[in-house]
A = this chain, B = another copy of it.
Amino acid sequence: MKTKASKYGLGLDFGTNSVRALLVELRTGRETATAVHPFRTGREGIILDRSDPNLARQNPADYLSGTIACVRAALAKARKADKSFNPARVVGIGIDTTGSTPLPVDRQGVPLAFRKEFKRNPNAQAWLWKDHTGHAEAARITELAARTHPEYLAKCGGTYSSEWFFSKILHCLNKDPRVFEAAWSWVECCDYIPGVLTGTGRPETLKRGCCAAGHKAMFNDGWGGLPSKGFLSELDPKLGELRDRLYDKTYTADVPAGALTAEWAGKLGLMAGTPVAVGAFDAHLGAVGAGVAPGTLVKIIGTSTCDITIWPADLALADVPGLCGIVDGSVLPGYFGLEAGQSAVGDIFNWFVNLIAPGGKKEGSHEALSRKAARLKPGQSGLLALDWNNGNRTILVDQRLTGLLLGQTLHTTPEEIYRALVEATAFGALTIINRFEEYGVKVDRLVNCGGIAEKNPFLMQLYADVLGREMTIARSSQTCALGAAVAGAVAAGPERGGFAGFVEGQAAVCGIKPKIYRPDSGRHKVYLEIYRLYRRLHDAFGTKSWTGNLHKTMKDLLALRDVQRSEAAR
């Protein structure tokens, strides 16, 4: 019996430092080949400014050269792995990127960064998600929306972030009007790439994804798309004028943005005409690749985290304060995508290991610190930290917050601090889950993905103990690219050998790993005590409404420490 020839989806995953291509065999979910290409400009692909720690940009030229390099490398690997592999069997391409990462473009959709005059101007580049230069503008937008259009904020957690679309554009207008004036429009990275590949990049023809629009640009069909011209004009008349050159319609990721042009087919070594799906953010397509469903929260744990779940669009749902967004169709068509997240998780551990570098290279590696930290009992160090080294995305939605470490004595060790930092991120994760459930979004199941979930059993067990829940791990190590590949295959549709829809696609390719981390009830109990103190600090430093006294905080930690030490000594 002749088996039907394998079909493939191609996922392109644009990260903070690199771009990845993943070829997935659609029937089996087998990941046939993958390749990564680092971005070349700046420090690990990020353009920085020594005098402004808030600035983080990317060179859009890196996106294009990186795409060519990694797709070609993945195709070569696929050919090597399977002699019968043929690029013609790649039925669809899907794209996910970081975000909000908008870039200024001209009337043709070409980035201003490609012009000679702007080549070295960071304001003409892509404004990377973690750029916080627009924090003053974010505060203005929040203030104006709270006063005149509270509905705009209700879907994005009550605060408009400095990481988002209009904060960045308005900051550009204030800081570098020459760039702003030269820009015909601004496009999110996740819309820019499909536009380039399909030749639909002109602002008039570009299909914008509902994911970026809804989560970062206050787009909602309920109020006619983007924020009103009057609202934007009050921020700045020129921002109001820009609205006409943005967009009034958005698309889910099952819709084709267009078909691969002959030029790009040549560059990549693929077939012209291959459908390319509308782009979405990495976390959202990552959730798809991890098997997101109602009641399932997908945690992508990496340098930062994104926590994603979905809710049927036809069921009532309260506005959950502090969430990054509640957007119809942003993850799967027919569902609200609910996004939360922590601004830094792995980045905090990396900061401690790489910048503070305790005990030198050998003693202070992630591995050595994790190994020693794993031997400690909850509360034994007397330390408590806040996980705000990069601000707080959920539930406070405030980038102007910073880290805190409390409880140091003259005997505090690096592994104790390392553990306290991991615990702080776990407490942050618990705060998010609690917030979901307080507003009726029950979390029955956690599926984790991302480098840390895969490689750090110490953290995973600690999270299970703090959260009091089982921690499972998505089977794929590349859930973002996998979700993007699924989107490409859904956009291609069954007639081309793709999927009829996301449910079919997820059933074919998603799963979890055998190893499951289960909570220890004794440790969970201690952690709930410590969490009470975490929450006190969280509210004291993070909310305007808190009043109280912190006099007992250090004493409570010391009392707990003394109990846990004497138990450990037994």
Interface: A406 (CB within 8 A): yes
Establish whether residues A404 and B406, one from each chain, have CB atoms under 8 Å apart when the complex forms.
Answer: yes
Q: Are the C-beta atoms of A553 and B541 separated by less than 8 Å?
A: yes
| A5 proximal to B (CB < 8 A) | no
Instruction: Indicate with 1 or 0, residue by residue over A533-559, a CB within 8 angstroms of chain B CB atoms.
Output: 000000011111011111101110110
Interface centre among A364, A400, A402 (most CB of B within 10 A): A402
Given contacts A52-B565, A402-B406, A404-B405, contact A551 B546 (CB under 8 A): yes
Compute how far the CA of A551 lies from the CA of B388 in the bound complex, rounded to whole angstroms: 13
Shortest beta-carbon distance, A248 to chain B, in Å?
A: 36
Q: Which of B355, B407, B549, B569 contacts A402 (CB 8 A)?
A: B407
Distance (whole angstroms) from the CB of A421 to the closest CB of chain B = 10
**What does the 1/0 interface line of A396-413 toward B look like (CB < 8 Å)?**
000011111111111111
- A410 close to B541 (CB less than 8 A): no
- Which B residue's beta carbon lies closest to that of A409? B389
Chain B residues with Cβ under 8 A from A351's Cβ?
408-412
Q: Is B390 a contact of A409 with CB atoms below 8 Å? A: yes
> With A53-B409, A405-B405, A565-B53 in contact, do A400 and B558 touch (Cβ < 8 Å)?
yes
User: Does B566 contact A541, Cβ atoms closer than 8 Å?
Assistant: no
Flag whether A356 is at the interface (Cβ < 8 A). Answer: yes
Select one of B50, B356, B551, B569 contacting A417, CB under 8 A: B356
Q: CA of A51 to CA of B377 in the docked complex: distance in angstroms?
A: 13
In the complex, what's the smallest C-beta–C-beta distance from A73 to chain B, in angstroms? 31
Interface pair B566/A554, CB less than 8 Å apart: no
Q: Is A280 engaged at the interface, CB distance under 8 Å to the other chain?
A: no
Does A87 sit at the interface, judged by CB under 8 A?
no
Q: Decide: A547 near B548, CB < 8 A? Known: A351-B412, A389-B410, A390-B410.
A: yes
Q: Return the contact of A542 from the options B388, B405, B543, B551 (Cβ within 8 A).
A: B551
Q: Given A359-B357, A360-B357, are A408 and B404 also a contact pair (CB < 8 Å)?
A: yes
Q: Considering only CB atoms, which chain B residue lies closest to A48 in the complex?
A: B411
Is A348 positioned at the interface, with any CB of B under 8 Å from its CB? yes
Centre residue among A50, A410, A413 by max chain B CB count within 10 A: A410
Q: Judging by beta carbons under 8 Å apart, are A551 and B544 in contact? A: yes
Say yes or no for A134: interface residue by CB 8 A criterion.
no
Answer yes or no: A344 CB below 8 A from chain B CBs.
Answer: yes
Question: Which residues of chain B are near A347, meaning CB under 8 Å?
Answer: 410
Q: Are the C-beta atoms of A408 and B403 separated by less than 8 Å?
A: yes
Q: In terms of DSSP, what is the predominant structure of the interface of chain A?
A: mixed
Cβ–Cβ < 8 Å partners of A553 in chain B: 541
- In the bound assembly, the distance between CA atoms of A171 and B564 in angstroms comes to 21
Task: Indicate whether A511 reaches chain B with its CB closer than 8 angstroms.
Answer: no
Compute how far the CA of A402 lies from the CA of B559 in the bound complex, rounded to whole angstroms.
12
Contact partner of A546 among B388, B411, B549, CB < 8 A?
B549
Is A414 interfacial (CB 8 A cutoff)? yes
Contact with B along A354-398 (1 / 0, CB 8 A): 011111110110000000000000000010000011100000000
A189-232 vs B, Cβ < 8 Å mask (1 yes, 0 no): 00000000000000000000000000000000000000000000
A544 to chain B, nearest CB (A): 5
A247 to chain B, nearest CB (A): 33
Interface string of A411-425 (1 = CB under 8 A from B): 111100100000000
Q: Once bound together, how far apart are the Cα atoms of A417 and B358, in whole Å?
A: 13
Residues of B within 8 A of A53 (CB): 409, 411, 565
A401 vs B555: C-alpha distance when bound (angstroms) = 7
Q: When A390-B409, A400-B554, A409-B390 are in contact, do A544 and B549 touch as well, CB less than 8 Å?
A: yes
Query: Whose C-beta in chain B lies nearest to the C-beta of A361?
Result: B360
Name the distance in Å between A534's Cβ and chain B's nearest Cβ: 14
- Known contacts A355-B413, A551-B546, A50 near B400 by CB under 8 Å: no
CB contacts (< 8 Å) of A355 on chain B: these are 410-414
With a 10 A CB-CB cut-off, give which of A347, A364, A406, A417 has the most chain B CB atoms: A406
Rounded to whole angstroms, the CA-CA distance of A405 and B553 in the bound complex is 14
From B50, B402, B555, B557, give the contact of A557 (CB < 8 A): B402
Contacts of A408 in B (CB 8 A): 351, 389, 402-405
Residues of B within 8 A of A389 (CB): 408-410, 412
In whole angstroms, how far apart are the Cα atoms of A444 and B565 in the complex?
47
CA distance A411 to B132 in the complex (A): 14
Residues in A lying within 8 Å of B, measured CB to CB:
50-53, 344, 347-348, 350-351, 355-361, 363-364, 382, 388-390, 400-414, 417, 540-544, 546-551, 553-555, 557-558, 565-566, 568-569
Q: Which 6 A-B pairs have the closest CB atoms?
A: A403-B408, A51-B569, A360-B360, A402-B407, A357-B359, A404-B406
Q: A351-B411, A400-B558 provided; 17 other pairs, C-beta below 8 A?
A: A355-B410, A355-B412, A356-B359, A356-B412, A357-B363, A360-B361, A389-B409, A390-B409, A402-B409, A402-B554, A404-B407, A405-B405, A405-B406, A541-B553, A542-B551, A544-B549, A550-B550
Residue contacts A-B, CB under 8 angstroms, 30 given: A51-B566, A52-B565, A53-B565, A347-B410, A348-B410, A350-B410, A351-B411, A351-B412, A355-B411, A356-B414, A357-B363, A357-B364, A357-B414, A359-B360, A360-B361, A389-B408, A400-B558, A402-B407, A402-B554, A402-B558, A403-B405, A403-B408, A404-B406, A404-B407, A405-B405, A540-B549, A540-B550, A541-B553, A544-B549, A544-B551
